[in-house]
Structure 1
Amino acid sequence: MKYTILHVDDEKEIVKLLKMYLKSEELELLEAYDGQEALEIFSKNKIDLMIVDVMMPKIDGFELIRTIRKESNIPILVISARVEASDRIFGLELGADDYLVKPFDPHEAIARVKSLLRRYHELGVSKEKFHSLLAVGDLNLNTHSCIATVSGESIELTAVEFRVLKLMMEQPGRVFTKEQIYEHGWQDSLTGYNNVRVMMSKLREKIGNERIRTIRGLGYRLEVANERT
């Protein structure tokens, strides 16, 4: 299957560079040079993954991610010159799936793109084949429609959050290490364990802080309803 990538960056040299590498992987590339143009392209095309810069005219990358996440869970890779940890954390909290800092190795960027595509379209939420409903108390997860509900109210999940919540709901009460959560959620072995803390914090906000307990020095577990205090 040939995937379509939307690359949004006002630095045309970077877009041109990645286009060369993406073509060698038989990936189709659509180009945008500001956030507004990206939204227009997104509304008219089937996009499988987005590469997003942060500092752009008209609509910046963070606002673009926030807007896209209102209607789509496609993988989003941020590539930005903003190197502060607070910027990376903010981008991930908004719903980005990965964050790469400029200057970057094009080969690493392509590896991350391929990994995100594989996780989402081949191993992730878009390929669930069988209807299945997981329930832990009043927390429910339909693994076919990828819809989570808390007390009957739907909540939006990113692809990573979906995979991690599914993992924990399949074995409530079990402690999962950061390594296990990272490898299952992001489905690669790149060292990005700091991303786990950010993602778990965001997931707690969505399903309720009391549902996920941090086990100091070990990891996290999903609390069984009658064990929550």
Structure 2
Amino acid sequence: MRSALVTGGSSGIGLAIARILREEGYALTLAARNVERLETAAHELEARTFGLDVRDEEQCRRLVAAHLETHSGLDVLVNSAGVGIAGRIGDTSTKHFDLQQSVNLRGAFLVTREALPALRESRGYVVNLASIAGTIPTPGLATYGAAKAALIALTRSLVREERETGVRATALCPAFVDTPMTTWTGLEGAEMIQPEDCAEVVRSLLRLSPAARVPLVVIERAGDDVV
């Protein structure tokens, strides 16, 4: 059976993608920091769980090893673990800057690096949850956007580096999505992109032929010029 590993898989976009992957017949490992939500999601999806802080290199190494021990391979990696802290550059603490870079960028790098040998064997797929804030100037989300812009660059370089191995990757860049992370916006849930919209994009990506390469997908919010 094909298998997938989803970080940030206990809620929001990560959980929505995990549901799609389960529908498509993938066996799952879900990783997240919130163990209670993780167990609820895993029960629904018959998934293996792994409590994970993506900032910890050893935990990332053990996560991939645990997945391979259970499933004997890896076909899809979804790096959905993330954190966003709104604030203008002049008001952002070093602590909040470092947190966003370490979770949103470093964590995805660590898990991807550890997973690459298995992904090369399966000619697998990597989905990195970036943001539209990484593609356009976004006042108030500058440091978050900087981390996501770096993640986009990492994804595009990965695509080129792995073109001979068959590993493909996409940076998914939505505008505001209806998740707990965006409650600060004041927007109604119905006004925002739904997590399931992001998941359906992932389903479509995985159904493409091996000849098709999509390094970047931007999902705009209807009627909005920015995020």
Q: Please confirm whether the aligned pair reaches a TM-score higher than 0.5, indicating the same fold.
A: no
Richer in strand (by share):
1
Higher relative contact order (CA 8 A, sep 6+): 2
Richer in helix (by share):
2
Question: Highest Rg: 1 or 2?
Answer: 1
